[in-house]
Amino acid sequence: MNQKKNNPVTHVVKRDGRIVPFDEEKIADGIYRAAASIGGHQKELSVKLAHEVTLIVNKNFSAPDMPLVNEIQDNVERVLIDNGHGKTAKAYIIYREYRRREKFKKGRLTEDPRIPYRTMYESLLWNLEHQCETIEKLNKIIHDGNMPGLVKSFEQNFNRHIQNIAKEISQEKDNVKLIIVAGPSSSGKTTTTAKLSHQLNEAGMDTVALNLDHYFFDLEFHPKDEYGDYDFETPEALDITLINQHLAELIDGKTIKMPYYDFGKGKRHLNVQEKTILPNQVMIIDTLHGLYEPMTQSVPDENKVKVYIETISQLKDNDNRFIRWTDIRLLRRMVRDSATRGYDMRQTIGHWHYVRRSELKHIIPFQGDTDFIVNGAIPFELPYLKKFTYDNLPDYIKEWQDDPKRRDAFIRAERIHNLLSQVNDFYDEKIIPWDSLMREFIGGSVLKLH
């Protein structure tokens, strides 16, 4: 008699008890990301190994049985090791354990660490005190000619906050080797890092900037969608292995040769710029993924300070709803990318789903593991963002409204267009200080990192 074949597994059970579809592509993606973190970029091999995992799972289980997600991950590790990919297996195991610990810690917290309640409350109080907690009141400030006063009050408050952070860090200067400024796209990391660096120098700490953008892999190694857009928003887009090697060597007093990344051509050149950190100096970096543990795991936790910045806006629209933080950052990136990177604004909106997917997975969940939180929301910024973006949005909305593949872009474009339609026109660049956070997006900033 012929042995009855097993029915292929169709669903798996996650650690929190949820039942989700079994997805071989996700297994391949996990293998590829583990390999990419140590410099491997063989997508076809990842797919092949993932299929081997699927065969093993279907051999050991039969629908309607549902394996646990950790049982599938055990098989991934076994397949990697059996096929001679020990280093990739190690990278996979490290990341798996890291995610397990993070989820465990979250389960023990009484508040969601992804939501900075205290900063939100402080922001709302500040807005109420300055009568700018709604778009309607912001429009009144514009109408009454009081924007210069609002700008001045914000700048003073923001600078005072950075000064206080620098003061606290400087009290531990003997132990600090690396300062990380992390946060999602267009949250204001560059300006915050420059201001913090200046204040630390004033407090007697000699900071040296390290630009991690030069550690991107060549653009051709990043996934590409049907529109020709590359997904370079994930941590694995950076050479994490080389970053850790260089951080450790710099702390040990060695001289490294940093790579140089040509963004115009999407190519990285190795061993270009020499860098040395003196014993009395401390490194400072701003990066999307600074809270992602594997990014800086070569530096002991006791030698790191983590600063997180987010646009924690507490501004309500005319429907009495708080404005989405991500919509503000999208508008900022549209302005910045158009002015400095030569991107069409429709490209920025169309790419935003990559940005959101990565920050929801690799950035925002880990903001609870930080030493300081900076609010990068600017109470007067909407009129300035409107000037550069508003007139373009109707064309994008019309272009995407009947395209199901662009549904996400259409929804975002329509939402930010509706938001900006509520804001009165105003643009007086002269009242914006040259070192303002606003300058990071509208241009003209005099801040530099050394």
C-alpha to C-alpha distance for 411 and 13, rounded to whole angstroms: 32
Tokens 């079994």, residue located: 22
Q: Give φ, ψ of 386 to 5 degrees.
A: -60, -40
The pLDDT score that the predictor gives to residue 69 is 82
The pLDDT score that the predictor gives to residue 137 is 97
Nearest Cα neighbor of 412 from 352, 336, 338 is: 352
Question: How many Cβ atoms are within 10 Å of 154's Cβ, its own excluded?
Answer: 21
For the chain, the first-to-last Cα distance in angstroms comes to: 76
Residue 346 CA to chain centroid, in angstroms? 20
- What is each CA distance from 93 to 97, 100, 106, in whole angstroms? 6, 10, 20
The pLDDT score that the predictor gives to residue 61 is 80
C-alpha to C-alpha distance for 284 and 302, rounded to whole angstroms: 15
C-alpha to C-alpha distance for 138 and 125, rounded to whole angstroms: 15
Contacts of 30 (CB under 8 A, 6+ apart): 76, 92
Evaluate whether 76 touches 30 at the Cβ level (below 8 Å): yes
Evaluate whether 170 touches 200 at the Cβ level (below 8 Å): yes
pTM of the model: 0.74
Evaluate whether 230 touches 347 at the Cβ level (below 8 Å): no
- What is each CA distance from 380 to 42, 124, 132, 139, 287, in whole angstroms? 47, 14, 8, 10, 25
DSSP character for 341? T
Number of H helices and E strands in the chain, helices first, is: 15, 9
Beta bridge partners of 194: none
Evaluate whether 61 touches 74 at the Cβ level (below 8 Å): no
Tokens in use for 257? 């040769």
C-alpha to C-alpha distance for 368 and 104, rounded to whole angstroms: 13
Contacts of 127 (CB under 8 A, 6+ apart): 133, 314, 315, 379
Evaluate whether 149 touches 430 at the Cβ level (below 8 Å): no
Nearest Cα neighbor of 336 from 183, 159, 185 is: 185
Evaluate whether 126 touches 120 at the Cβ level (below 8 Å): no
The pLDDT score that the predictor gives to residue 431 is 98
The pLDDT score that the predictor gives to residue 139 is 98
The pLDDT score that the predictor gives to residue 100 is 59
Evaluate whether 188 touches 440 at the Cβ level (below 8 Å): yes
C-alpha to C-alpha distance for 205 and 199, rounded to whole angstroms: 9
β pairing state of 206-209 and 281-287: parallel
Per-residue pLDDT tens, the chain, 450 aa: give them: 344 456 888 888 776 557 788 899 989 988 888 888 788 888 889 999 999 999 998 888 877 677 878 788 888 988 988 898 888 887 787 766 666 555 545 443 334 556 787 788 789 889 989 999 999 999 999 999 999 999 999 999 999 999 999 999 999 889 999 999 999 999 999 999 999 999 999 999 999 999 998 999 988 887 665 666 666 678 888 999 999 999 999 999 999 999 999 987 889 999 999 999 998 999 999 999 999 889 999 999 999 999 999 999 999 999 988 999 999 999 999 999 888 777 889 999 998 988 888 888 888 888 878 999 999 999 999 999 999 999 999 999 999 999 998 999 999 999 999 999 999 999 999 999 999 999 999 999 999 876
Evaluate whether 8 touches 63 at the Cβ level (below 8 Å): yes
C-alpha to C-alpha distance for 215 and 238, rounded to whole angstroms: 5
DSSP character string of 304-335: EEEEEEE-----B-TTS-BPPHHHHHHHHHHH
Give Rg (Cα) of the chain. 24
**CA angle centred on 88, ends 236 and 300, rounded to 5°:** 65
Residue 126 CA to chain centroid, in angstroms? 26
For CATH 3.40.50.300, the residue range(s) in the chain are: 117-442
C-alpha to C-alpha distance for 26 and 17, rounded to whole angstroms: 18
C-alpha to C-alpha distance for 388 and 112, rounded to whole angstroms: 36
CATH node for 117-442: 3.40.50.300
The pLDDT score that the predictor gives to residue 68 is 79
B/e letters for 58-89, b = 16+ CB within 10 Å, e = fewer, are: beebeeeebbebeebbebbbebbeeeebebbb
